[in-house]
Amino acid sequence: MSVFHRLAAVISPALRGGIAGLTWILAIVLIAQVVFRYGLDASLVWGEEFGRYAMVLLVFLGAIPLVAGQRLSAFASVGPGGHRGLAFLGGLVRLAFYIALGISAALLIQRSGAQRSIALGWPMALVYAPMLVFSGVAAVITLLGMAGIARPGKPASRDGEAGE
């Protein structure tokens, strides 16, 4: 088993746990919002803002296993054999996207990172940081896949883990 796969085996359960935990927290906050707004005729000012940020974070966290399992791109479904060039081209396209996303996230952090979110008072750098982290992780995974290091030995499983 490669170092990449050993690292993925350690990180994957923690990532799934974090996704599940954040989903539960989001559900509880959304239910509390409904109860406060319609039951108590009061508003949780911070609830909507937290919900937006949590959903965006869930999207980026959920995409990491898809990138690691090489299931986020139609280019990856081409398969082995004579289509390696097309799969490599797909890797270049994904890599360009992740680099552009990382640059955009870095610029957002640089330009508005010192500002604070309205309801929660969080630094906007904290809000934009998951984009930067995701783009970096996804770019590294893509580069390793293009080099043949991160390529799973068997297809990715249904829960998003790369095969051994």
| CA-based radius of gyration for the chain | 19
Contact present, 8 and 47 (Cβ < 8 Å): no
Enter the pTM of the model.
Answer: 0.57
Q: Where are the domains of the chain?
A: 3-146
Given a contact cutoff of 8 angstroms between Cβ atoms, the answer to whether 86 and 15 are in contact is no
**Environment class of 69 (CB within 10 Å of its CB; exposed 0-12, middle 13-18, buried 19+):** buried
Tens of pLDDT, residue by residue over 112-162, are 877 888 777 888 888 888 888 888 888 888 888 777 755 544 444 444 444
User: And the tokens for 138?
Assistant: 């996804």
What residues contact 56, with CB distance under 8 A and at least 6 apart?
127, 130
Q: For residue 164, is pLDDT > 70?
A: no
pLDDT in tens, 33-86: 888 888 888 888 788 888 888 888 888 877 777 666 665 555 555 555 556 666
Range 4-31 average pLDDT: 80
pLDDT of the residue at 79: 56
| Mean pLDDT of the chain, nearest integer | 76
Return the SS3 of 98: helix
